[in-house]
C-alpha cells in the first residue's frame, strides 16, 4: 500500500482559490500529512486551478504535461475551476492524473485519497451543489495577521465572458452566525484583518428570501467582533452596490475605505455585450456618490480590453472613464475567449497586437495617475497594519486602510500591530515613511 507523508499544493487565480487551498491543506494535515514547499519532496501534488484567463489554464496544462513525463510514484490531483469545466477531458487527456476534485467537494479530499490507495483508479468527485458542512469547517491560516472568510459562493450574473457561474454554481450565502463565529475564532488567534470573499459579496443574503441579513447588515455585525481591527471585502458587482452599503462603508470604523468595483469597460455598447447590466453613466453616478460620502475612498477595478467588436471609439470611452475615475488599483487584461461562455460564440476579432496596445495605453495612464496620487500622499500620516519584515530584512512592510503598501524602518516586534507612519516619499507602488 502506498505510504503518504507529504503534499504540495499550487494555487492559481483568485483569493477564493487561496482560501480553498487552505481548507484542503487543513484536511490533509488532519491526516498527519506534512505540507512541503517543493513539489519534488511531495507524495501528493495538487493543482488548485483557475479558468478565468487563458494563461492560467495553459500554465496548468504545462504542469500536467511535465508530470506526464516524470510522475514517479506521486499522486497528482486537479481541483478548482478547471476541475469543474474540463473534468472528463482532463482525465482522458492525462491518464497519469489520479483525481479531479470539484469546488463543492473540498471536504472529500481524504476520501478520494483512500479510494485511490485502495483501488488504484482515477477518481472524480464533483457536485454541483454547495458543500454541506463547509460552513462550519474553519481552515488553519498560514498568515497570522490577515485572513479571508468566504461569505457567499457562486454567481448568478452570467457576464458573457465569464466561466465562473459554470464552475462555481449559483449564489449560496453562508449562514451569518457561522461567519461571525469564524471571525471571532480568527480574532482569538490574533488575526487583525479579515477580507470577506465571494464572487459577488454585495448580493449576500439575496438568495435567502426569509433572511433579513443583507451585506451591509453583515458588515454591521462583523464590526462588533472584538479583536478584529480591519474589514475588507472582495469582489462586488457594481449593479448591487447599494446606498446602504456605501453608508456602512462611511460609518463603520473597522470597514476600510477601499473597494474593488470592477468597471470592465467604459462603453455602453461593450458593457451590454458583456452583459454587465449597468451603463457607464450608472457606474459613474455610484462612484461619484461614494466619493462624496467618503472623500479619501480608494477604488480598484478590473478592465478587459479587446472584447469582440471593441472599436477605437469604444476603447476611447473606456480610456476617458478610466482617467476620470482615477482608479487606485487596476487589473487590466486582454480579452481571451473562455470555452462554454456566451462570448466564446462571438468573433474574437480584435488582433492581439491591438489588444496589447490598448492594454499598454491604459497601464501607462494608470501609472501616471498613481504618481499624482502618491505625490499628494507625501506629508500625510497613515495608519498602517504592519504585516511583515521586508526582503531587505531592515524595514517593515504593511498597508494603509486605503490599501497602499508602506515601507518604514522599525522594530520587527511591531509586526501585527497598527502604527501611524509619516509618509516621506514613494518608489514604484510603495509609499516610504517614518514611524511616528
Contact footprint for ligand SF4 (CB under 6 A): 155, 157-159, 162, 164-165, 199-200, 237
Residue with the three cell numbers 426569509: 210
Closest approach, Cβ 242 to ligand SF4, in A, equals: 16
Closest approach, Cβ 113 to ligand SF4, in A, equals: 30
Closest approach, Cβ 339 to ligand SF4, in A, equals: 14
DSSP, residue by residue, 312-378: HHHHHHHHHHHHHHT-SEEEEEE--PPTTSGGGGS---S-HHHHHHHHHHHHHHHHHHHHHHHHHHT
Sign of the dihedral through C-alpha 195, 197, 201, 204: negative
Of 335 and 408, CB closest to ligand SF4: 335
Closest approach, Cβ 312 to ligand SF4, in A, equals: 25
Alpha-carbon span 368 to 373, nearest angstrom:
9
Of 158 and 289, CB closest to ligand SF4: 158
CA-to-CA separations, 159 to 113, 130, 198, in angstroms, rounded: 36, 21, 16
Of 159 and 334, CB closest to ligand SF4: 159
Closest approach, Cβ 24 to ligand SF4, in A, equals: 21
- Close Cβ partners of 21 (under 8 Å, ≥ 6 residues apart): 9, 11, 46, 48
CA-to-CA separations, 228 to 148, 184, 385, in angstroms, rounded: 12, 8, 12
Alpha helices in 170-311 (DSSP H): 176-188, 215-222, 243-251, 268-273, 280-293
Question: Of 72, 74, 55, 68, which Cα lies nearest the Cα of 9?
Answer: 74
Of 333 and 366, CB closest to ligand SF4: 333
Alpha-carbon span 145 to 245, nearest angstrom:
26
Of 167 and 402, CB closest to ligand SF4: 167
Alpha-carbon span 305 to 21, nearest angstrom:
30
φ, ψ for residue 280, nearest 5 deg: -65, -30
Parallel, antiparallel, or unpaired: how do β-strands 298-305 and 258-260 relate?
A: parallel
Closest approach, Cβ 322 to ligand SF4, in A, equals: 18
Of 201 and 410, CB closest to ligand SF4: 201
Of 239 and 326, CB closest to ligand SF4: 239
Closest approach, Cβ 165 to ligand SF4, in A, equals: 5
Closest approach, Cβ 275 to ligand SF4, in A, equals: 8
Of 158 and 331, CB closest to ligand SF4: 158
Amino acid at each position: 500500500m502506498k505510504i503518504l507523508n507529504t503534499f504540495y499544493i499550487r494555487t492559481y487565480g483568485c483569493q477564493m482559490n487561496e482560501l480553498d487551498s487552505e481548507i484542503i491543506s487543513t484536511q490533509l494535515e488532519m491526516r498527519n500529512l506534512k505540507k512541503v514547499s517543493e513539489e519534488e519532496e511531495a507524495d501528493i501534488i495538487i493543482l488548485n486551478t483557475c479558468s478565468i484567463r487563458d494563461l492560467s489554464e495553459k500554465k496548468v496544462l504545462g504542469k500536467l504535461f511535465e508530470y506526464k513525463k516524470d510522475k514517479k510514484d506521486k499522486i497528482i490531483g486537479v481541483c478548482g475551476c478547471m476541475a469543474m469545466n474540463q473534468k472528463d477531458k482532463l482525465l482522458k487527456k492525462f491518464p497519469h492524473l489520479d483525481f479531479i476534485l470539484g469546488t463543492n467537494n473540498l471536504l472529500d479530499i481524504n476520501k478520494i485519497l483512500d479510494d485511490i490507495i485502495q483501488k488504484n483508479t482515477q477518481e472524480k468527485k464533483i457536485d454541483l451543489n454547495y458543500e454541506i458542512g463547509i460552513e462550519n469547517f474553519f481552515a488553519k491560516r498560514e498568515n497570522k495577521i490577515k485572513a479571508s472568510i468566504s461569505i457567499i459562493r457562486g454567481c448568478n450574473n452570467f457576464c458573457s465572458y465569464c466561466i465562473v457561474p459554470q464552475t462555481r454554481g449559483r449564489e449560496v450565502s453562508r449562514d451569518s452566525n457561522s461567519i461571525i463565529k469564524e471571525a471571532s475564532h480568527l480574532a482569538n488567534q490574533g488575526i487583525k484583518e479579515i477580507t470577506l470573499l465571494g464572487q459577488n459579496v454585495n448580493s449576500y443574503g439575496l438568495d435567502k428570501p426569509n433572511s433579513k441579513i443583507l451585506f451591509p447588515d453583515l458588515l454591521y455585525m462583523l464590526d462588533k467582533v472584538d479583536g478584529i481591527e480591519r474589514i475588507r471585502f472582495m469582489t462586488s458587482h457594481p449593479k448591487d452596490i447599494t446606498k446602504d452599503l456605501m453608508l456602512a462603508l462611511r460609518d463603520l470604523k473597522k470597514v476600510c475605505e477601499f473597494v474593488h468595483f470592477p468597471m470592465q469597460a467604459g462603453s455602453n455598447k461593450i458593457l451590454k455585450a458583456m452583459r454587465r447590466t449597468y451603463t457607464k453613466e450608472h457606474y459613474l453616478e455610484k462612484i461619484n456618490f461614494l466619493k462624496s460620502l467618503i472623500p479619501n475612498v480608494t477604488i480598484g477595478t478590473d478592465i478587459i480590453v479587446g472584447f469582440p467588436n471593441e472599436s477605437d471609439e469604444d476603447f476611447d470611452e473606456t480610456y476617458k472613464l478610466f482617467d476620470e475615475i482615477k482608479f487606485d488599483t487596476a487589473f487590466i487584461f486582454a480579452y481571451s475567449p473562455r470555452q462554454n461562455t456566451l462570448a466564446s460564440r462571438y468573433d474574437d476579432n480584435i488582433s492581439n497586437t491591438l489588444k496589447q496596445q490598448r492594454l499598454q495605453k491604459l497601464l501607462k495612464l494608470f501609472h501616471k495617475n498613481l504618481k499624482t496620487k502618491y505625490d499628494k500622499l507625501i506629508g500625510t500620516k497613515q495608519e498602517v497594519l504592519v504585516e511583515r519584515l521586508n526582503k531587505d530584512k531592515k524595514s517593515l512592510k504593511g498597508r494603509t486602510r486605503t490599501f497602499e503598501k508602506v515601507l518604514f524602518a522599525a522594530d520587527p516586534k511591531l509586526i501585527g500591530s497598527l502604527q501611524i507612519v509619516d509618509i516621506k516619499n514613494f518608489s514604484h507602488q510603495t509609499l516610504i515613511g517614518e514611524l511616528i
